[in-house]
Amino acid sequence: MKKTLKRLKRDFFNRSTLTVAKELLGKVLVFNDYQGVITETEAYMGFDDPASHAFRGKTKRTEVMFGKPGFSYVYLIYGMYYCLNFVTEEEGFPAAVLIRGLRVFDPKTQKEIHLNGPGKLCRYLGITREHNAIDIVRDKHFYVGCIRQSMQFKTTPRIGIKVGQDKPWRFVSEELKERNPK
């Protein structure tokens, strides 16, 4: 019996970024033939968050962060990895949630694997710059669905940043048996 997967609508993303980041844990990311449970997220938001790409104002790259909630924000980091975010909050307020961890069923090994890390996650799924600024509330092959309620999680500072470490805006699912990255 297949569980029904209810797609998250615009209203889900049009809320406080911290709320969206926490509630995305346990939700199902659908990307083409892949489905995975989100296990780790980080929030980047507003004009007062120095770690956010939008901190210094709107640019070509960060434009989508200022746009409507429910769009993807994909960028290249360190010249070799992509990172996937979902835009949150009302249009004009720059904010997004970084997807850092995913449990997926690997068709090759027939085993569930844990993609821990935003770069590894995008590399495995095949997410690139072409998948930036996609409306994941409307797209047929790229969206987020819900099969269960909420998950237990812990809260920590964000990873890999030199500023904004005072903000505990990383959320990690407690159901993980694997060690935490870093």
Query: Which residues lie near DNA (CB under 7 A)?
Result: 42, 44, 51-54, 56-57, 59-62, 65, 73, 75-81, 83, 85, 96, 98, 117-121, 158-162, 181
Tokens 């770069």 sit on residue = 119
Burial class (CB in 10 A: 0-12, 13-18, 19+), 92: exposed
Question: 60 is written with which tokens?
Answer: 């070509």
The least distance separating DNA from the CB of residue 83, rounded to whole angstroms, comes to 5
DSSP assignments along 88-114, one per residue: -SSTTS-EEEEEEEEEEEETTTTEEEE
Residue closer to DNA, measured from CB, 5 or 123: 123
CA dihedral of 112, 118, 123, 124, whole degrees rounded to 10: 10
| C-beta separation of 43 from 97 below 8 A | yes
Q: Residue 6 or residue 106: which is nearer to DNA going by CB?
A: 106
Considering the complex, what minimum distance in angstroms separates the CB of residue 96 from DNA?
A: 5
Q: Which is nearer to DNA, 15 or 120 (CB)?
A: 120
Q: How far is the CB of 100 from DNA (least distance, A)?
A: 7
Q: Kindly tell me which of 60 and 108 has the beta carbon lying closer to DNA.
A: 60
| Residue 1 beta carbon to DNA: minimum distance, rounded to whole angstroms | 34
If the CB atoms of residues 39 and 85 are measured against DNA, the closer one turns out to be: 85
Provide the token pair at 117: 């890390």
Tell me how far, at minimum, the Cβ of 8 lies from DNA, in Å: 19
